[in-house]
Amino acid sequence: MQFEALRSEPDGPRVRTDEGRLKLQVIDDAVVRVVATERDSITEPSTDSPMIVEQPPADVDWSVTDGESTVTLETDALRVDLAKDTCALTWRDADGELLVREPRDGGKELRPVDVAELAGENAATPAETLERGAYSTKLSLEFAANEAIYGLGQHDDGIANYRGHDQHLYQHNTKVAMPAFVSTRGYGFLFDSYSLSTFRDDRHGTYFWSECVDELDFYFVSGPELDDVVSGFRRLTGAATMLPKWSYGYVQSKERYTSQDALLAVVDEYRDREIPLDCIVQDWQYWPDSTEDDPDFESWGGPEGDWGRWGQKSFEPSRFPDPDALTDELHERNVRLMLSIWPNMITGEDHEEMAAAGHLLDDGDLSAPDNEVHYYDVFSEDARELYWNQAEEGLFSHGIDAWWADSTEPYNPDWGLEDPLEPEQRLELIASDYKRVFDPAYTNAYSLYQAKGLYEGQRSTTEEKRVLNLTRSGYPGQQRYGAVTWSGDVEATWDRFEKQIADGLQFTATGNPKWTLDIGAFFVEDNTDEEFYANGDFDDGHEDLGYRELYTRWFQFGAFLPLFRSHGTNTPREMWRFGEPGDRTYDTLVKFDELRYRLLPYIYSLAGWETRDEYTMFRHLAFEFREDNRVHEIGDQFMFGPALLVCPVTEPMYYGPGSTPLEGRATAREVYLPDGTEWYDFWTGERYEGGQTILADAPLEKLPLFVRSGSVVPMGPIVQHAGERPDAPWTLRVYPGRDGSFELYEDAGDGYAYEDGEYAVTPVTWDESAGELSIGDREGWFPELTETREFRIVPVERGVGTGVDEAESQTTVTYDGSETTVDVGR
């Protein structure tokens, strides 16, 4: 590809090459879009993107220089050089320091493809839609030796740093494709592609490939910090919405509660035991039972028993006789109801209505023989509206508080096999099946459209209840639809647990901050003689002391995720199933549940930052310490907000499967404390220098947890639900050693008035040299605001201001919204 001519448009330069056209579009100082095609022109403006929100005209100064051998685009934050002989691009920061480059001979490759030929025997997509040309594209890059790469989604493999690895991007249960990555050199790439894709950094080269796109279309985002890069991703794909405040409390789920009475009995037990709880989840099969005329699922290899009218959006009256009374009684107990909802459906009124409207995908036998089960066509706006109307009439109108949108990949063809496939075989099978149903250019986009439909439907119905959609897949932009991705149906093994930590961190590095998992894993027992993926290690379930240990460690990890939720099959998940008061496991579960509630002022403030400031709550260590090379390969520690370093225990110390005692195991784990700051042990107040690895005490009752010096951590009282005692005193734990600050965020906790400015922020500043804490003037207001609040200020030291309990030695101030400064008398 060689340069031929240059012209400038208001948003950036355009280049004619000997092979087509190249567009450099300035989005802002730190973001430049690159579009390449072999056609004679690039559509202006480019085709609307499901991923990218409408961008305002760039209000930024930029310049382009047409040199002898190079065309250079410059903004205040970024420089892009284009070599005229190959059109290879090089990205540099404002000081001219190299960030990343294409290979010298050029890195942009476009190969024409016939979409209809790629689709093959596709009966679900109109033929006229498929009769078009597109490109298979590849962008090759040259990384520096010491940079680390994060992102690409969640891929069930525990890779901590993608250097030296490859990753196929497709949607699958336990696998979430996100075409974006960031680098510790302070930049990121976001690809506007929805097709099957592959990232490689191995012997085959370093590149990002997409199978079917209209043009090579990507965004380069400059940092320098990873927060800056993710902020750029979020500006492109949309702000993360605020979730309801109650969703940051504890969410109890299992597969499954069988009746209205069963749900209420569990909630009553939580309330009687005074264990904090905010939400209970009803999994599948609440819908009407089958009739004699319904298909026999067992005949085609389905599980034994009655699946009922799967996907019908209404309740079975014999088991859920009064849904209105159910939600009323739950709400009286200050508990919300999340409900499983599926995009596939079988015989029933919803199925018939969708079929009559022509909104079911003709997927042959991918779901079941003889077209017994269909997924609805989320790519159709009319189908999404009909789906919402069904959900609103049959479910939401009865007081449902949140959605659990299961199976949004939506196909998992290899899960019917006895043995797992190798990665390339699995890709081939899944690619073949997906393209039998979807346009090859949109095989990864089902979940994005499903989330869009639920969000827009609920927003059109009410502004008083925030959308919360727990979903099993994801794509860039989904955060603007109130969606939280969970990691899917993983198995209960220590190896899988450890991998989940890195998998989640890779997901949030792509710009979507909302991720969670099934605490304790979905599959607990070993059923690999029937299903290769159902290979848990604990056939005795919650009675197994080995599983109790694993569950406790998983629960400790889950307490520091955006959504704190236990779920799974094979064995119950309620806390009292693991013991009674005085038992080690039970007491530890309750302790970490109570810690979660004490941290709600901190957590909800972080949620506000995610919406207002494009922040990421659950974050890789490199977000805070990217220049410390020792954090680059760490996938089993993370930051929870700016203050808390969380170090889950990922090896058994006491018991193996079958309650087998383990001898000689140390009850400690190695922890790396990042350089550049001091650290406090959250449980003891002991202070450590950064830049070292320590052996941290980690008996079952204790998750190694450290706090960065200079942190101010707001904490509330132990409450039974997130809305209890809104005017209660808050503690401000101060961790001396350096200056620090924190911004408290508050709003009504539900509804969308915050979008109109109904929220309040309060800056808190710690002055290390003066030993003073300042609580600044409150900015903003909302009707439910606690105008006057008591703050208890606790400078942390050894044995003071530690653990879950309140500190005895406190300085108290009554804050009325006006600035106040407290000398803590250190």
The pLDDT tens digits of the residues spanning 468-509 come to 999 999 999 999 999 999 999 999 999 999 999 999 999 999
Mean pLDDT of 799-805: 96
Cα distance between residue 311 and residue 314, in whole Å: 9
Taking the C-alpha atoms of residue 263 and residue 400, their distance in angstroms, rounded to an integer, is 14
The answer to whether 753 and 788 are in contact (CB under 8 A) is no
**With 80 as the cut, is the pLDDT of residue 286 above it?**
yes
Check: CB of residue 350 under 8 Å from CB of residue 292: no
Residue pair 437/363 in contact by the 8 Å Cβ criterion = yes
Within a 10 A sphere around the Cβ of 699, how many other Cβ atoms? 12
Residue 3: is its pLDDT beyond 70? yes
User: DSSP letter string over 412-456?
Assistant: -GGGGSSSPPPHHHHHHHHHHHHHTTS-GGGTT-HHHHHHHHHHH
What pLDDT does residue 364 have?
Answer: 61
Q: At residue 298, does pLDDT exceed 70?
A: no
Residue among 406, 498, 610, 681 flagged as catalytic: 406
Closest CA to 61 of 45, 82, 77: 77
**252-256, 301-305, 698-702: the lowest-pLDDT one:** 301-305
Sequence-separated (6 or more) residues with CB below 8 Å from residue 126: none
Q: Is 217 a catalytic residue?
A: no
In this prediction, residue 532 carries a pLDDT of 83
Question: Can you name the residues that pair with 338 across neighbouring β-strands?
Answer: 281, 402
Interacting residues of 93 by C-beta distance below 8 A, sequence separation 6+: 77, 78, 79, 99, 186, 222, 224
Single-letter amino acid code for the residue at 346:
I
119 contacts 439 by C-beta, under 8 angstroms: yes
Residue 196 confidence class, pLDDT cut points 50, 70, 90: very high
Mean pLDDT on 571-579: 98
Q: If you average pLDDT over residues 12-24, what whole number do you get?
A: 97
Task: Answer with the residue of higher pLDDT: 14 or 364.
Answer: 14
Q: Is 40 known to be catalytic?
A: no
Among residues 621, 424, 652, which one has the least CA distance to residue 551?
652
Q: For residue 370, what pLDDT is reported?
A: 45
Q: Do residues 112 and 135 lie in contact, with contact meaning Cβ atoms separated by under 8 Å? A: yes
How many residues does this entry show for the chain?
826
pLDDT at 300 over 70: no
Note if 409 is an active site residue: yes
Structural domains present in the chain: 3-237 (2.60.40.1760), 712-823 (2.60.40.1180)
- The whole-number pLDDT of residue 301 equals 40
Give me the helices (H) in 510-619, please.
545-558, 584-598, 600-613
CA 180/CA 210 separation, integer angstroms: 12
**pLDDT tens across 454-473, in order?**
999 999 999 999 999 999 99
Query: What is the separation of C-alpha 248 from the centre of its chain, rounded to a whole number of angstroms?
Result: 14
Tokens of 17: 């090459």
Tell me what the pLDDT averaged over the chain comes to. 95
Average pLDDT over residues 664-676: 98
Number of other CB atoms surrounding residue 378 within 10 Å? 25
CA-based angle 131:132:137, to the nearest 5? 135
Q: Where are the alpha helices (DSSP H) in 622-661?
A: 622-625
Half-sphere exposure of 552 (CA within 13 A, CB side): 31
* Residue 421 confidence class, pLDDT cut points 50, 70, 90: very high
Residues 737, 766: Cα–Cα separation, whole Å: 10
Give the active site residue among 81, 217, 372, 409. Answer: 409
pLDDT at 263: 99
Q: Phi, psi at residue 257, to the nearest 5°?
A: -85, 135
Q: What is the pTM of this model?
A: 0.97
Higher pLDDT, 127 or 368: 127
Question: Which residues does 579 contact at the CB level (< 8 Å), separation at least 6?
Answer: 548, 585, 586, 587
Quick one: pLDDT at residue 369? 44
Bridge partners of 619, per DSSP, are 639
497 with 553: CB under 8 angstroms? Answer: yes
- If we measure between CA atoms, which residue out of 326, 366, 370, 328 comes closest to residue 347? 370
**Alpha-carbon distance values, 318 to 70, 258, 261, 339, 619 (Å):** 74, 11, 11, 18, 45
In this structure, of 161-165, 179-183, 272-276, 367-371, the range with the lowest mean pLDDT score is 367-371
Catalytic residue among 489, 498, 636, 746: 489
Mean pLDDT of 547-552: 99
* Per-residue pLDDT at 641: 99
